[in-house]
Structure 1
Amino acid sequence: MNPFDILVSIIFGFCLIRGIFRGLVKELSSIIGVITGYYAAYSYYPHVAKFLSKWISVVDYSRLIGFLVIFIGVFLIISILGVIIKYLMSIAFLGWTDRISGGIFGLIKGLLIASVLFIVFTTFLSKNASLVKDSVVAPHLSHFSTQMAKIVNKDMKHEFTEKFEGLKKAWKKH
C-alpha cells in the first residue's frame, strides 16, 4: 500500500464511522456538499489558479490548490447549511435506522471524495507520478472516477483521459 491507498482507506473508514454517528440527515447534506463542491471546483478552478499564480509559481500546484480551495469551501458551506436545516426542522430519524442509513451514505460520500482525489491527482500530477500509478485501490476507484470525469470541463477531461490511459497501461504491467 502506498500513501494514496492509505489516504483512501482512512477516508472510507472515517466516512463510515462518522456516518453512523451523524445519521442520515447530516450525511445527506454532506454528500450534496461533495457533489456541489466538485461541480464548483472544476468549473471555477482556472480563475482561482490564475489568482494564486501571483504567489505560487508552479502552474500545476496553483491549479491543484485552486481546485481544492473551492471544493473544500463549498463542501463546508453546504455541510453547515445541513446542520442548520436539521436543527430548524428538529426532525430526526432516531435509532438504528438513522445510524445505518447514515453509515451507508457515509460510504457513498467516501467514494465520492476518493474519486475526486483520484481525478485531481491523475489530472494535475505528472504522468509518471507513482502516487496513483503504484496504488492498489486506484484501479478500483477508476471505474467510478471515469464516470465522474465525464462531467468536468473539456480541458480537464482531456488531461485526465490522457493520463488515465497511461495509468491503465502501467496497471496492466503489475
Structure 2
Amino acid sequence: MTAIDFGVIAIMLIFLARGIWVGFIRQLASLAALILGYLFAGRYYEQISPRLSFLIPSPQISFLVTYALLFLAVFVGVLAIGYVLKKVMSLSLLGWFDRFMGGLFGLVKAGVVVTVLFMVMSGLLADSNP
C-alpha cells in the first residue's frame, strides 16, 4: 500500500468516526444550515440593509453586516432545530439509528472529499494542463 492509500483510509476513518460521533441529524442540520443561510441571506440582505442605514452610514458596510447577521440567524436557527430533532431521536430510542446513518453519511462525505482531492491532484500532476 502506498502513502496515498493510507491517506484515503485515514480520511475515510476520520469522516466515519465523526459521523458516528455527531450523528446523521446534526450532520444534515449543519449542511442545511450552511445552504439555507447562504440562500436566505443572499435573497433578503438587499431588502433589510436600508433599514440599518441609521446605525451604519456606509452602504457597503451595511450590506456586509446585514448579510452576515442574516446568515448567522438562519444558521443558528437551523442548528437549533437539528439539536431538538436529535434529542427527540435519542428519547425515542432511535439514537443508534441516528449514529449508524451518521456513519454512512460520513463515508459518503469522505468519498466526495477523496474524489475532489484526486481530481485536483490529477489536474496538478498532469503532463500538460489545458
TM-score range, shorter chain: 0.5 to 0.7
Aligned-pair identity in percent equals 25
Q: Which amino acid aligns with 2:105?
A: S
Taking only aligned residues, the RMSD between alpha carbons, in angstroms, comes to 3.2
Match of 1:98 in 2: 102
Secondary structure of 2:37 counterpart? helix
> Which 4+ stretches in 1 moved above 4 angstroms?
94-97, 103-106
Give unpaired runs (5+ residues) of structure 1: 1-15, 109-139, 141-174
The one-character-per-residue Cα deviations of 1:6-30 (angstroms, maximum 9, x if unpaired) are: xxxxxxxxxx7xx544132201011
Match of 1:28 in 2: 28
Query: TM-score, with normalisation over the residues of structure 2?
Result: 0.57
Match of 1:61 in 2: 61
The one-character-per-residue Cα deviations of 1:44-73 (angstroms, maximum 9, x if unpaired) are: 101221122211122111101101111110
Q: Which has the higher contact order (CA 8 A, sep 6+)?
A: 2
Query: TM-score, with normalisation over the residues of structure 1?
Result: 0.44
Give unpaired runs (5+ residues) of structure 2: 1-14, 113-119, 121-130
Q: Which amino acid aligns with 1:83?
A: Y
The CA distance in 1 between the partners of 2:40 and 2:24, in whole Å, is 24
Paired residues of 2:41 and 2:70 also in contact (CA < 8 A): yes
Aligned length: 94
Return the index of the structure with the highest Cα Rg: 2
